[in-house]
Amino acid sequence: MADSTKTAKLTIDGKDYELPIHSPTAGPEVIDIRKLYAQAGVFTYDPGFTSTASCDSTITYIDGGKGELLHRGYPIDQLAEKSHYLEVCYLLLYGELPSPAQLEDFESRVTNHTMIHEQMMYLFRGYRRDAHPMAIMVGVVGALSAFYHDSTDISDPWQREVASIRMIAKLPTIAAMAYKYSIGQPFVYPRNDLDYASNFLRMCFAVPAADYEVNPILSRAMDRIFTLHADHEQNASTSTVRLASSSGANPFACIAAGIACLWGPAHGGANQACLEMLQEIGTPDRIPEFIARAKDKDDPFRLMGFGHRVYKNFDPRAKVMKQSADEVLDLLGIEDNPTLQVAKELEKAALADPYFTDKKLFPNVDFYSGIILEAMGFPTSMFTPIFALSRTVGWISQWKEMISDPQLKIGRPRQLYHGETLRDYVDIENR
């Protein structure tokens, strides 16, 4: 962290405390309160971390006001248009775009780790067939630490690297297996002559009796979905991975923790919830009813795929996703898709309503992604697993950055305690 010359002054009970201010390369200045408790004996209070920078990072930057998302400085729309997922993985992990030789080497390293230990097949069989694929993924990814002992020592940079490559390579295999298991079909092994996205589509949709011919436009759309979800700064699941890893937990356990956090409907689970909502609305004439429910304070219903903690403008990923939805449905010859029609009308109606514009609620990445995934043939239960496999590289990049940070400390927030103070135990017969 660069030395700062600017300071903020905090006065408590007439006593002044000087707090250093750090100037980032982009974004608001950050007041450093690390010594505040030692010097002034007070904590700060910020539930939901709305004003707290939890780490010093160089990976991803979001300007929520402008609707800008940068990975290592490169805007997401350029990466979605000109790059591809594994190149973005390299960029996130190592900080720069790869040379052709570096990319070839990286792709071959990932490709050579796509299979999972054969013994892991039996883990899947222990789950009920109707288990949510996210439930299976949390368990199986955590279980990788039981199968790959040679990459769990986080103090060894080589082992960290191997664990990273293993997870990027194996997550599509695990997600596809979770899907195959849920529909009672045999697992399809990865094929290393296919690119990352095509291989995933084939593992999901091929069967031993009939191979799956991968359409390059669909594989491009799949790759773009992976790219758009690759990283997103210090969101809930990434912060979960960082907090878990701050204790020294092994990398597979930390990523499993991230997957568990991502599952929630306010986070990665929103893509499933959004498509289900669009299908429940069904026809554009029912939109006003759902908009009214979203605005009603006494109704817990929220417009899924709308709003974001950081974006107070269009989520730049939603723009690319909307365009991709048009392309995919066009390719598949799905004209007048009723869900897409409802989505477009709902977007228009919400953006014309002061409730949403005043609160700066815009469509987020999940608003259109479900429509594409459904058109490709995925059930809604696979939407969040696809988000999880895409985000794995972001979690890993943030985890690697954290492990090599000399400031690394176990994450241990404090609290504002409003409970009882010391009191004596009451015997049960006297209560």
Active site members: 308, 366
How far apart are the C-alpha atoms of 406 and 421, rounded to whole Å? 38
**Residues 218 and 351: beta-carbon distance below 8 Å:** no
- State the pairing for strand pair 7-12/68-71: unpaired
In terms of CB distance, is 78 or 357 closer to ligand CMC?
357
Stretch that binds ligand CMC, among 64-72, 79-87, 263-271, 341-349 (CB under 6 A): 263-271
In terms of CB distance, is 113 or 267 closer to ligand CMC?
267
Torsion of CA 391, 395, 400, 404, to 10 degrees: 150
Listed residue (91, 84, 90) closest to 110, CA to CA:
90
Q: In the window 171-210, what residues touch ligand CMC (CB under 6 A)?
A: none
Q: Is 9 helix (H, G, I), strand (E, B) or coil?
A: strand
Rounded to the nearest angstrom, the gap between the alpha carbon of residue 22 and the centroid of all alpha carbons in its chain is: 27
In terms of CB distance, is 166 or 267 closer to ligand CMC?
267
| Residue sitting closest to ligand CMC (CB) | 307
In the beta sheet, which residues pair with residue 306? 363
Q: Please state the closest distance from residue 369 (CB atom) to ligand CMC, in A.
A: 9
Options 22, 109, 191, 309; binder of ligand CMC; rule CB under 6 A: 309
- By the rule CB under 6 A, 383 interacts with ligand CMC: no
Stretch that binds ligand CMC, among 65-73, 129-137, 253-261, 358-366 (CB under 6 A): 358-366
In terms of CB distance, is 251 or 307 closer to ligand CMC?
307
Give me the helices (H) in 41-83, please.
76-82
Q: Please state the closest distance from residue 222 (CB atom) to ligand CMC, in A.
A: 18
Options 69, 270, 393, 396; binder of ligand CMC; rule CB under 6 A: 270
How far apart are the C-alpha atoms of 235 and 262, rounded to whole Å? 9
Q: How far is CA 287 from CA 278, 290, 302, 347, 429, in A?
A: 9, 5, 13, 10, 59
Q: Please state the closest distance from residue 66 (CB atom) to ligand CMC, in A.
A: 17
- By the rule CB under 6 A, 386 interacts with ligand CMC: no
Q: In the window 232-251, what residues touch ligand CMC (CB under 6 A)?
A: 232, 235
Options 22, 220, 302, 319; binder of ligand CMC; rule CB under 6 A: 302
- By the rule CB under 6 A, 398 interacts with ligand CMC: no
Give me the helices (H) in 263-353, please.
270-281, 287-295, 316-331, 338-351
In order, the DSSP letters of 102-116 are: HHHHHHHHHHTT-S-
- By the rule CB under 6 A, 292 interacts with ligand CMC: no
Options 88, 259, 303, 376; binder of ligand CMC; rule CB under 6 A: 303
In the beta sheet, which residues pair with residue 21? 31
In terms of CB distance, is 86 or 262 closer to ligand CMC?
262
22: enclosing H helix or E strand? strand 15-22
Stretch that binds ligand CMC, among 28-36, 82-90, 117-125, 262-270 (CB under 6 A): 262-270
User: What is the total residue count of the chain?
Assistant: 431
Listed residue (7, 44, 72, 399) closest to 241, CA to CA:
399
Stretch that binds ligand CMC, among 13-21, 95-103, 186-194, 359-367 (CB under 6 A): 359-367
- By the rule CB under 6 A, 267 interacts with ligand CMC: yes
- By the rule CB under 6 A, 316 interacts with ligand CMC: no
Residues contacting residue 106 through CB under 8 Å, at least 6 positions apart: 86, 89, 90, 98
Residue 121: CB atoms within 10 A of its CB come to 12
- By the rule CB under 6 A, 110 interacts with ligand CMC: no
In terms of CB distance, is 37 or 49 closer to ligand CMC?
49
- By the rule CB under 6 A, 390 interacts with ligand CMC: no
Give me the helices (H) in 95-208, please.
100-111, 121-125, 133-147, 157-182, 196-205
- By the rule CB under 6 A, 352 interacts with ligand CMC: no
- By the rule CB under 6 A, 312 interacts with ligand CMC: no
Stretch that binds ligand CMC, among 106-114, 178-186, 307-315, 325-333 (CB under 6 A): 307-315
Q: Please state the closest distance from residue 256 (CB atom) to ligand CMC, in A.
A: 18
What is the contact surface with ligand CMC in residues (CB under 6 A)?
A: 232, 235, 266-268, 270, 294, 302-309, 359, 361, 364-366
